[in-house]
């Protein structure tokens, strides 16, 4: 499955949870549009949430809801529930704007407080799109609709082999391939309850050229890690399908 893009467009609806981000993974006929306007300079270079600091009681990051020192704007402490199951009865919750801001402050990132709520919407949107891409992969091998995200790990300092390959391709052919490395990486462990299998997915996050109006665009590359024969088989099958689809499109253009 190739890269999928989500473009951000300005909108008046401040309540929307959609985001201006471009995601990559499986071809989508209609790119996801983000109705939220945000400042590109406000986005961090990687997810500020430390997913490894997990509370063993609820398998969620332990994040403070108290205002940060010298904070001037009161931020919401309500946490939105995701669509991503973490067990048969519960779904993952996203950090509140206050928790997200505290994570930014802890990492030393200077972020205008007025942009934090939009950044949380972007963060949540990215995760929702990544989960949709995981489900597309899962449907190729697993017949159930009960897959769960059991745990995840942020690995921003570790470039995946695929990301290294595309970066090398960009160095050789800069006019054809992206020359920028991914700005973040996550590994998600997905469980298939009916079989008990666990499958690791790798997610690379890329920045893409902005829209004509300056709206930022991001891209996600989501795929199963090459940890098992089944995952290797699916990666090869999808790559083959994409090559044939590309050849058919070129033939259609020539007609």
pLDDT of residue 11: 26
**pLDDT tens for each residue of 32-73:** 333 333 444 444 456 666 655 556 544 455 778 999 888 999
Q: Would you say residue 64 lies in a domain?
A: no
Minimal CA–CA distance to 63: which of 87, 98, 92, 91? 98
Please list the alpha-helical segments (H only) found in the chain: 97-106, 116-141, 161-172, 229-254
Residue ranges of the chain with per-residue pLDDT less than 70: 1-61
Structural domain range at position 237: 226-254
Q: Would you say residue 127 lies in a domain?
A: yes
Minimal CA–CA distance to 208: which of 1, 28, 21? 21
Both 249 and 126 in a single domain?
no
**pLDDT tens for each residue of 141-170:** 999 999 999 988 888 778 888 888 878 877
Q: Would you say residue 6 lies in a domain?
A: no
Secondary structure E strands in the chain: 4-8, 32-34, 54-55, 60-61, 81-85, 91-93, 148-154, 184-192, 197-208, 217-224
pLDDT of residue 98: 95
pLDDT of residue 199: 96
pTM tops 0.85, yes or no: no
| DSSP-based three-state secondary structure for 135 | helix
Both 217 and 230 in a single domain?
no
Both 187 and 119 in a single domain?
yes
Both 166 and 219 in a single domain?
yes
Q: Would you say residue 157 lies in a domain?
A: yes
Q: Would you say residue 20 lies in a domain?
A: no
Both 110 and 235 in a single domain?
no
- Into how many domains does the chain fold? 2
pLDDT of residue 53: 58
pLDDT of residue 144: 92
Both 140 and 240 in a single domain?
no
Q: Would you say residue 120 lies in a domain?
A: yes
């Amino acid at each position: 499955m190739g890269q999928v893009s989500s473009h951000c467009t300005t909108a008046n609806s401040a309540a929307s949870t959609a985001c201006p981000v471009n995601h990559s993974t499986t071809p989508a006929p209609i790119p996801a549009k983000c109705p939220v306007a945000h400042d590109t300079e406000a986005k961090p270079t990687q997810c500020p949430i430390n997913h490894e600091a997990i509370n063993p009681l609820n398998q969620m990051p332990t994040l403070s809801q108290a205002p940060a020192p010298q904070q001037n704007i009161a931020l919401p402490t309500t946490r939105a529930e995701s669509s991503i199951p973490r067990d048969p009865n519960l779904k993952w919750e996203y950090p509140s704007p206050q928790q997200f801001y505290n994570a930014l402050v802890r990492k030393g990132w200077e972020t205008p407080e007025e942009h934090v709520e939009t950044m949380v919407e972007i963060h949540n949107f990215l995760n929702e799109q990544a989960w949709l891409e995981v489900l597309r992969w899962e449907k190729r091998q697993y017949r159930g609709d009960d897959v769960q995200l059991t745990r995840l790990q942020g690995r921003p300092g570790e470039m995946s082999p695929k990301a290294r390959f595309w970066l090398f391709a960009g160095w050789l052919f800069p006019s054809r391939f992206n020359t920028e490395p991914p700005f973040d990486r996550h590994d998600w462990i997905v469980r298939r309850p009916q079989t008990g299998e666990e499958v690791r997915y790798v997610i690379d996050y890329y920045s893409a050229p902005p829209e004509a109006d300056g709206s930022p665009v991001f891209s996600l590359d989501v795929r199963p890690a090459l940890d098992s024969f089944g995952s290797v088989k699916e990666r090869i099958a999808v790559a083959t399908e994409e090559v044939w689809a590309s050849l058919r499109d070129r033939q259609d253009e020539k007609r």
